[in-house]
Structure 1
Amino acid sequence: MKLEFLILGKNESILPILLRLVNADENWNAIAFTDEHLAQEHFLNNKIDMVLLSSAIEDHVEKEFTSFCLKNNPDVEVIEHFGGGSGLLRSEILHRLHLKGKL
């Protein structure tokens, strides 16, 4: 079973990179949004295992979106990822999966 990722970020040049990195794992599937309202709609209509918050999101949007996700699915993992290379992103994801006992 694939893990489903939702990526929210406002830096449109970064999102394709994050999508490529996440989707490189055959057990992961990601979709990305620049608009938090569209992301919320997708979140409500799909089973999301992990949310990645990327760069250029306003602080209040980050807090509101995280709160929204956890309210609607307390089991979802929300990771703030603002750079550091592909190895760091994969490590952050694997660490969270390990903590949740999903590895």
Structure 2
Amino acid sequence: MQTTILYIGRDTEITAVMNRLLNARPEWKGICICSDDEAISICKEQQVDLVLLGNGIDAECEKALRSKLTGIKPGLKIIQHYGGGSGLLYGEVMSAL
């Protein structure tokens, strides 16, 4: 069974890298986007197991996103991901799950 991970970031190049890293593991399905509205829509329509908040999301946006996403899916795990290698990403994801 795949774990669906939604990555929300502001930098399109980093978002593309995250898409590659998340989807490189067969046990993960990565959905990587730059839009808060799209994130909300995805959470309403799909099963999401974990949300990673990436670079460029300011504190106010983060607070609003957390509120909206957990309003849709109470108990949804949301963590910040600031970058680093794929080993760090794996550790963050596994710790959150």
TM above 0.5, yes or no, is: yes
Q: Tell me what 1:13 maps to.
A: 13
Residue-by-residue CA offset, 1:36-59 (whole Å, 9 max, x unaligned): 011111111111101011001122
Q: CA RMSD in A?
A: 1.1
2:79 aligned with 1:79, yes or no?
A: yes
Aligned-partner Cα distance in 2 for 1:85–1:63 = 26
State the Cα distance separating 1:86 from its structure 2 match.
Answer: 1.5
Q: Which runs of 4+ in 1 moved over 6 A?
A: none
Q: Tell me what 1:66 maps to.
A: 66
Residue-by-residue CA offset, 1:57-96 (whole Å, 9 max, x unaligned): 1221111111111222123211100112221111011111
1:73 alignment partner AA: K
Deviates more, 1:67-76 or 1:22-31: 67-76
Aligned-partner Cα distance in 2 for 1:85–1:27 = 18
SS of aligned partner of 2:13 = coil
Q: Tell me what 1:101 maps to.
A: none
Percent identity between the two aligned chains: 32
Aligned-partner Cα distance in 1 for 2:52–2:60 = 16
Q: Tell me what 1:100 maps to.
A: none
Unaligned runs of 5+ in 2: none
2:68 alignment partner AA: F
Alignment of 1:1-103 (within 5 A): 1-97=1-97
Question: Could you state the TM-score of these two structures normalised by the residue count of structure 2?
Answer: 0.92
